[in-house]
Structure 1
């Protein structure tokens, strides 16, 4: 059975402050034009999306150069319940971990339920940078989260993105704004399929799990 892990894209949905707001409106209509066509305005980091290294790494790999095989296959789901707003997810918080992890690791916090409640969604938990380093050392190449970011979203001044720097700096990938992760088994096969935006720093995706 396929389970959809993708947030629907809709006008007014929560985005990271400073990102383009989502606008979807009729460009052509059946009544006037004989066909229905919707005009879209959105950022590359809208909804469920994948960050390519080019997002933070000068000259980094762009999303159109990502092999779909990197984003498809076995994933380890790390469920972290009962987190407070802004809480840092430490290695101890994750409990027992295998000595080696699959290339894809998903952090299931349950924070996806807050996406529609803008201010709460922005105060999501964050991943400790040393955890990202450990997971990379153990074999992770793709980090997936059910929050707006594995790093803090509400900050003053230029964004500080230590987890992004480590994962994307290692030529890995980050998938953000997944949904439904808390219902998945600990081991699952997933597929994440981004739009091949030429020279893109990121792209919206359709993400699924086979259960």
Structure 2
């Protein structure tokens, strides 16, 4: 089993403008005879999924998405360019497509605005192909500073779940079983633990 989730920790990478993840001891063995950690985070911290409601006021909320949409056969596809284009998508692939890019080398404390992203043509192709979940190995599928989140909206309008913040550095391209269990949150998305096997 391959864990493709980012560890949640202080100083982890955060999309510009989002709140930073924070954790600290709330109770300690020395003072309270137990250890409890307090966590402050967003629904889009670390490895997470975007529900349609994240971008669409009338879109499905996280609580309305069945868990079986988060599991199944997956294709891990490697793309070396700055933009994932329609021609980068194999003619045959599973209903879950995870893009491995040079982004997996960029996880650090500092956000890299030049990350590889999914182009609009590729997003439309993934919808036309009947994908149920699309993931990428950085904090957004959208080009940084895009005037409109057209890729998000193209996928989410078709009820294609978006996963961001995957860690695919040590994963070889190919076919896998995929399983992801998001926290049971009700609104725009949730942090996830995702694995391949």
**Interval containing the TM-score (normalised by the shorter chain):** over 0.9
Partner of 2:140: 149
Q: 1: CA distance between counterparts of 2:65 and 2:13?
A: 26
Residue 91 (structure 1) aligned with residue 86 (structure 2)? yes
Residue 79 (structure 1) aligned with residue 78 (structure 2)? yes
Q: Which whole-Å deviations, capped at 9, do the CAs of 1:176-195 have from their partners, x for residues lacking one? A: 01012662341111001100
TM-score between the two structures when normalised by the length of structure 2: 0.93
Q: 1: CA distance between counterparts of 2:172 and 2:49?
A: 20
Residue 8 (structure 1) aligned with residue 2 (structure 2)? no
**Matched residue count:** 197
CA 1:75–1:203: 2 relative to 1, 3 Å: same
1:120-139 superposed matches below 5 A: 120=112, 122-139=113-130
Q: 2: CA distance between counterparts of 1:129 and 1:182?
A: 27
Please report the RMSD computed on the Cα atoms of aligned residues, expressed in angstroms.
1.6
Q: Which runs of 4+ in 1 moved over 6 A?
A: none
Contact 2:105 2:169 in 1 (8 A): no
Q: 2: CA distance between counterparts of 1:205 and 1:34?
A: 30
Partner of 2:152: 164
Partner of 1:108: 100
Residue 204 (structure 1) aligned with residue 191 (structure 2)? yes
Residue 24 (structure 1) aligned with residue 18 (structure 2)? no
Q: 2: CA distance between counterparts of 1:37 and 1:56?
A: 34
Q: Which whole-Å deviations, capped at 9, do the CAs of 1:103-156 have from their partners, x for residues lacking one? A: 211111031221215142x32011111111111111112111001111023x27
Contact 2:89 2:122 in 1 (8 A): no
Partner of 1:41: 40
Unaligned runs of 5+ in 1: none
Q: 1: CA distance between counterparts of 2:134 and 2:90?
A: 18
Q: 1: CA distance between counterparts of 2:120 and 2:184?
A: 29
